[in-house]
Amino acid sequence: MSNLKRVLIPALLALLALSLLVGCDEDDIERSLGKQTSAAVEKEFGLNNDPVLGAWVNTMGHSLVGQSKRQGIPYHFRVVNTDMVNAFAAPWGYVYVTQGMLRFAQSEDELAFVVGHEVGHVANRDSIKSFKNSVLFNIGVALLGTQSETLANIGGIGAGLLMLSYSRDDENDADLSGSAFAYASGYDPAGSTAFFQRLMTEIEKDRPSSFEHIFMTHPPTDKRLAAEKKRPEMNLGDPAVASRIGRCYARRYAYGTACTFYQMALDKKPEAIPTRLRYAEALQAQGLRERAATEYQAILLRDPQNARVGTALAALQAPPSGQTLATAAEQQQAGALLTAANSASSDASALATASSNYTFTMQAPTAGVSGIARSSISSMREISNREAELPDAVQQAFLGANSAISDANETVFALETTNKAVAQTSGLLRRDAEGLRNAVAQVQAGRAPAGDLAVYRRALREMQLAGANLRQAMTVAAAVEPVVRRAGQSANDTVSLVGTMVGSKEPARYIYNVNAAAQNTVSKTAAAAEAVNRIKSATTDAEARALLAKLNLAAFGASPELRATYDGMTAYYCHVSPREVAALREQGLGFGDASFLLIAAGTRDVAPSTLLPLAQSPDSLIDSLRGQGLAMAGPVALLRFLSNAIDREVAARQKAQG
């Protein structure tokens, strides 16, 4: 390239950028950078392409967009494969949720607030405003009109997107959008307060690296929490608000939780017939026939001609659904299974002790690695937010380094995640074991429905394998931490060189050193990633097994009506109809078996019946599905939400019963 071209081309690109920025239609540059950065994000992190998880997140996202003031652009909602806890918006409606965020969020209401927050950023054009003030903007403009997807270092833009900062006002406005959009879309707006409360109590006291982005770019969490509590949609003293939130839970078949909010509304406004009718129907759905009849009669006193009530009362006259109890053969078999369940309980207790020791042993080393990652993230964010125009070769060095640094820090996020997963899953297995003993004992006593024993036997099998997965993970992890540390230190060294390069009047002088440092980081990261992925695979399988067992045990003590509500809850998270869940249960499957089978069928776009033999065989269903290519991260994310929703249902019913 001639010297003249070297001078003219950057100048022309700068003029292009200026014309796009000051022209009549800023959409042009936002659309172009949106396409650019979305390709970069997906190259850097990779997508979770599970279609069931994708459909679920996409449905949520578009329901939130429906409340936004900015409707005229295409929106895309995708899950990216990083353990970093984050959600972020690229220009032009590309919204990404990380696997780490799916793990941290404990309910879909929390996730709805987070995604709504990002939709708010898109609606307010915050992403493009932030982009304009960064190194990445000038790089992105320079790549407009090129086949940038072919550039090896494009992932550096994707990693850099996470380094952008919004103003405090932008963040506060996005919080307002998040809770307002969630409430208007049929979610519980208290998901925002639950999210912030856990950030304060579980995260801010330690500030591990995987959460660093949250603290760097947002206002203080306590102030955000206080602001959320003052919003009108949080006022449960308003019967309209309480009734609306009740409907949001009923929509998900969480009738016990819905009743809690309906009762709040009726305490304030007892004459509200629509709310009382929904309350009665939610009671009836749970099999609470006498209480439902009382509420229906109260409605008739005010509205004697209410046809809907008449139909419901007629249905209550039918005898309740019966259950065939365990056969003598099942009771005898339960005796042998109870011995195995007692052994599993002892094993689970020993595993919980080993997990506690592991967590204590790994605490200091992991904190040290996290500190190194925090340092590189903080420094790289500062560098990325500078306004600098870099020559082509310097741009490539910057992007390559940014990608290498991001990948190295990803191994730190993954190590943190797996350490937490060991502790959480071992606790879940301990509770599973206690539940299994009680459930099998009821079969042995002849007080449980016929067919439940086979469901509990499959739960036991997965629990035993989950324990083996966790022990494998703990054995490997101790040797992995030094490898991850070396990758993190190399990333930190690379950041220092990048800062020198970007801040220099002659940045090209540092290209060789930056490229060499980045390549060293890539080499060390490859070893770290391979090691961490082994642990990650083991802990993901362990959690999948523990969730299957827990959901299978949800049948314990549940009436036919309550099992039908669990059919609906399971269907909601698996993106199918309740009848499809019920059909699998009629074939002898538990809620956990059915959940994994339905998600696998949806992922492969086949009828669930074609996979039914896998669940009915004596082999592990998780092993069979993984052997057929099902990645467990997607199902685990959805079924964790289902598991937590069932826990809330149980707690709501227990509270209602005193």
Query: d(Cα 51, Cα 63) in Å, to the nearest integer?
Result: 18
Range of weakest confidence among 76-85, 116-125, 386-395, 431-440: 386-395
| Residue-level length of the chain | 658
Which stretch of DSSP H or E encloses residue 88? strand 87-90
Could you write out the DSSP letters of every residue in 326-377? PPHHHHHHHHHHHHHHHHHHHHHHHHHHHHHHHHHHHHHHHHHHHHHHHHHH
Look at residue 621 and tell me whether its pLDDT is greater than 90: yes
- pLDDT attached to residue 637: 95
Label residue 46 left, alpha or beta by phi (over 0 means left) and psi (-120 to 50 means alpha): left
pLDDT bracket for residue 135 (50, 70, 90): low
- pLDDT attached to residue 8: 29
Of the chain, the percentage scoring pLDDT greater than 90 comes to 66
Which stretch of DSSP H or E encloses residue 570? helix 560-574
- b/e map of 224-239 (b: 16 or more CB within 10 Å)? bbebbeebebbeeebb
Range of weakest confidence among 3-7, 64-68, 204-208, 544-548: 3-7
Query: d(Cα 497, Cα 187) in Å, to the nearest integer?
Result: 46
Look at residue 368 and tell me whether its pLDDT is greater than 60: yes
Pick from 26-30, 226-230, 393-397 the range whose average pLDDT is largest: 226-230
49 phi/psi in degrees, rounded to 5: -95, 15
Q: Are 377 and 209 in contact (CB under 8 A)?
A: yes
Q: Which residue has the higher pLDDT, 259 or 13?
A: 259
Query: d(Cα 524, Cα 488) in Å, to the nearest integer?
Result: 9
- pLDDT attached to residue 125: 85
- pLDDT attached to residue 203: 64
Q: Are 260 and 655 in contact (CB under 8 A)?
A: yes
Could you write out the DSSP letters of every residue in 403-427? HHHHHHHHHHHHHHHHHHHHHHHHH
pLDDT bracket for residue 395 (50, 70, 90): confident
Q: Are 397 and 514 in contact (CB under 8 A)?
A: yes
What is the residue whose two structure tokens read 């009738």?
255
Query: Which tens digit of pLDDT belongs to each residue from 49-75?
Result: 999 999 999 999 999 999 999 988 999
Query: In the sheet that 87-90 helps form, which strands lie side by side, from edge to edge?
Result: 76-80, 94-98, 87-90
Query: d(Cα 413, Cα 113) in Å, to the nearest integer?
Result: 23
Look at residue 43 and tell me whether its pLDDT is greater than 90: no
Label residue 146 left, alpha or beta by phi (over 0 means left) and psi (-120 to 50 means alpha): beta
Query: Which tens digit of pLDDT belongs to each residue from 336-363?
Result: 999 999 999 999 999 999 999 999 999 8
Q: Find how far residue 355's CA is from the centre of its chain.
A: 24
- pLDDT attached to residue 498: 93
DSSP 252: T
pLDDT bracket for residue 40 (50, 70, 90): confident
Query: Which tens digit of pLDDT belongs to each residue from 293-340?
Result: 999 999 999 999 999 999 999 999 888 877 899 999 999 999 999 999
- pLDDT attached to residue 458: 97
Query: d(Cα 189, Cα 194) in Å, to the nearest integer?
Result: 9
| 255: its two tokens | 């009738």
- pLDDT attached to residue 279: 98
What is the residue whose two structure tokens read 């940014």?
402
Which stretch of DSSP H or E encloses residue 35? helix 27-45
Query: Which tens digit of pLDDT belongs to each residue from 448-477?
Result: 999 999 999 999 999 999 999 999 999 988
pLDDT bracket for residue 610 (50, 70, 90): very high
How do strand 87-90 and strand 76-80 relate by DSSP bridges?
Answer: unpaired
pLDDT bracket for residue 658 (50, 70, 90): low
Range of weakest confidence among 132-146, 281-295, 421-435: 132-146
- pLDDT attached to residue 10: 36
CA-wise closest residue to 256 among 657, 640, 650? 650
Angle at CA 592, nearest 5°, toward 589 and 596?
95
Look at residue 46 and tell me whether its pLDDT is greater than 70: yes
